[in-house]
């Protein structure tokens, strides 16, 4: 599905901005707090990781680390105290999202396909054999 997708920084930031706008609008219109799904962020981060030559499984590692932080924090700490490591982890993930949007992609074809075209675009790349 996302195996041969690469997106550039412009597309990544546009997608992140769209997710943020939808999140703000839903929280403004809803009486209950709405959370951003990790699945939505994964579908944005995996092709961006492909563009820098990294496997999308790195996103899975961060996701499982999040689960571990939540389970461990809530298991051994009182609720008010458990919110501290959860908040710290949230800031770390936000930093990773910013880092992912600032690092340049590989200019040439990599194992995930040809480089994305400049500007905004959501086209799947063609997989070309590497020499």
Q: Is the pTM of this model over 0.85?
A: no
Q: Which of 51, 40, 45, 41 is nearest to 4 (CA)?
A: 51
Q: How many whole angstroms separate alpha carbon 9 and alpha carbon 110? A: 17
Q: Which of 99, 1, 14, 94 is nearest to 47 (CA)?
A: 1
Q: What is the pLDDT of residue 123?
A: 59
Q: Angle at Cα 121 formed by Cα 107 and Cα 131, nearest 5°?
A: 30
Q: How many whole angstroms separate alpha carbon 108 and alpha carbon 123? A: 16
For the chain, 131 residues long, the average pLDDT of each consecutive 10-residue run is 76 91 86 76 90 90 90 89 89 93 90 81 57 54
Q: What is the pLDDT of residue 38?
A: 79
Q: What is the pLDDT of residue 41?
A: 87
Q: How many whole angstroms separate alpha carbon 125 and alpha carbon 29? A: 38
Contact 70, 85 (CB under 8 A): no
């Amino acid at each position: 599905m996302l195996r041969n997708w690469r997106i550039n920084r412009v597309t990544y930031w546009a997608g992140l901005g769209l997710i943020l706008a939808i999140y703000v609008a839903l929280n403004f219109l809803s009486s209950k707090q709405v959370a951003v799904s990790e699945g939505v962020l994964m579908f944005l981060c995996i092709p961006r990781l492909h563009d820098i030559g990294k496997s999308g499984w790195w996103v899975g590692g961060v996701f499982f680390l999040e689960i571990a932080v939540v389970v461990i924090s809530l298991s051994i700490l009182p609720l008010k105290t458990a919110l501290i490591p959860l908040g710290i982890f949230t800031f770390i993930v936000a930093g990773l999202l910013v880092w992912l949007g600032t690092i340049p992609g590989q200019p040439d074809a990599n194992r995930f396909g040809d480089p994305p075209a400049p500007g905004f675009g959501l086209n799947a790349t063609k997989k070309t054999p590497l020499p």
